[in-house]
Amino acid sequence: MSDSVYMPLLDLACGAFLLAGVLVLWRRDLAAIVRLFALQGAALAALVIVLAAHEGSAGLAAAGVAVGGLRAGLLPHLMRRALVAGGEGQESRPLVNVATSLLVAAVLAMVAYDASQPLVRLTPTPATQAVPVALTVLLVGFFVLVTRRRALSQVVGFLLMDNAITATAFLTAGGVPLVVELGVSLDVLLAVLVLQVLTLRMRAAFGGTDLDELRELRD
């Protein structure tokens, strides 16, 4: 693939990846948040496939398809099922309102750009120059995790962080070894399943999944 095609495609995939992550902060409808998460998974898969086409690596392309299957297909499907079983469509009032959240996201992006300078400096290729985008999504995911009050939103926050780490792995060194990648994917999948079961139990015990209710244990 020539650079004139590769660069815009890479930028497009990274842009979609970042946009989907930031838009999670904007929406309060849980179904829309899951859709955005699926969109981000698709952007991540596209990103890996673009990298594969650039390097002409069939293995990397296969990894991209697998990433897409897990993160744009299976995980959103599981979350949608949890959503249907729960019947709670809306995020309750978040700790930080939408406008402030978006401003915070801008600050986080600057922090991510600053923190990733040593990473970009090591090999300034177009791919590594996109690492700050991945780190921004990581910080946004963490922000979602600490400010949102619904169990499902916290799961999405965790998965945004995980998407960001996967993106970093592919952008910096074409992914980690296969054994590790498989193990990581399996662990993430199981973690989501565990959290889904815990959500159901939470609904049975507390009558809802508002995490503000979790205040039985403290010192």
Partner 1 sequence: MISPVLFPLLAACGYAVFGWRAATAWLGALAAAGQLGAAVTLAVATTGQPRTALSGLLRADALSAFMLIVIGVVALLAMLASPSYLAADLAARRTGPRATRRYGILTQAFVAAMALAVLAASLGVLWVAVEATTILTAFLVGSRRTRQAVEAAWKYVVICSVGIALALLGIVLTHYAASHAGLPPAGRLDWAVLARDAADLDPGVMRIAVALLVLGFGTKAGLAPMHAWLPDAYGQTPAPVSALMSGVLLSVAFYAILRVKVIADIALGPGFIRTLLLIAALASLAVSAALLLAQRDYIRMLAYSSIEHMGLVALGAAIGTRLAMAAVLLHVLGHGLGKSVLFLSSGHIQQAVGSSKISAVTGLASRAPLLAGAFGLGLLALLGMPPFSLFASEIGIARAGFTAGLGWAVAVALALTLVIGAGLLSGGRRMLLGPLPPGGTVPLAPPADGAIRLARSAAVPLVAGLLACAALGVAGGPLRHLLETAATMAGATP
Q: Which residue type is seen at 79? A: M
Asked whether the beta carbons of 1 and 53 are under 8 A apart, the reply is yes
Q: Which stretch binds partner 1 (CB under 8 A): 10-18, 22-30, 65-73, 160-168?
A: 160-168
Could you tell me the smallest distance in angstroms from the CB atom of residue 5 to partner 1? 25
Q: Does 191 help bind partner 1 (rule: CB under 8 A)?
A: yes
From 145, 149, 208, 210, residue interacting with partner 1 (rule: CB under 8 A): 145
Exposure letters 156-177 (e unless 16+ CB within 10 A, then b): bbbbbbbbbbbbbbbbbebbee
Residue 150, classed as helix, strand or coil, is strand
Nearer to partner 1 (CB atom), residue 39 or residue 156: 156
Q: Which stretch binds partner 1 (CB under 8 A): 37-45, 60-68, 74-82, 166-174?
A: 166-174
Q: Which stretch binds partner 1 (CB under 8 A): 12-20, 25-33, 41-49, 205-213?
A: 205-213
* Token couple for 201: 């139990």
Nearer to partner 1 (CB atom), residue 12 or residue 126: 126
Could you tell me the smallest distance in angstroms from the CB atom of residue 181 to partner 1? 8
Residue 151, classed as helix, strand or coil, is helix
Applying the rule CB under 8 A, the residues between 63 and 92 that interact with partner 1 are none
Nearer to partner 1 (CB atom), residue 119 or residue 140: 119
Q: What residues contact residue 219 under an 8 Å CB cut-off, 6+ apart?
A: none
Q: Does 115 help bind partner 1 (rule: CB under 8 A)?
A: yes
Residues linked to residue 90 through DSSP beta bridges, in sequence order = 29
From 24, 40, 112, 162, residue interacting with partner 1 (rule: CB under 8 A): 162
Q: What is the DSSP letter of 176?
A: S
Q: Give the number of C-alpha atoms closer than 13 A to the C-alpha of residue 68, restricted to the C-beta side.
A: 15
Residue 13, classed as helix, strand or coil, is helix
Report CA torsion sign: 76, 184, 69, 8.
Answer: positive
Nearer to partner 1 (CB atom), residue 12 or residue 113: 113
Q: Does 118 help bind partner 1 (rule: CB under 8 A)?
A: yes
Report CA torsion sign: 186, 193, 213, 152.
Answer: positive
Question: Which positions lie near partner 1, rule CB under 8 A?
Answer: 115, 118-119, 121-123, 138, 142, 145, 151, 154, 158, 161-162, 165, 168-169, 172-173, 176-177, 179-180, 183-184, 186-187, 190-191, 194-195, 197-198, 201-202, 204-206, 211, 214-217, 219
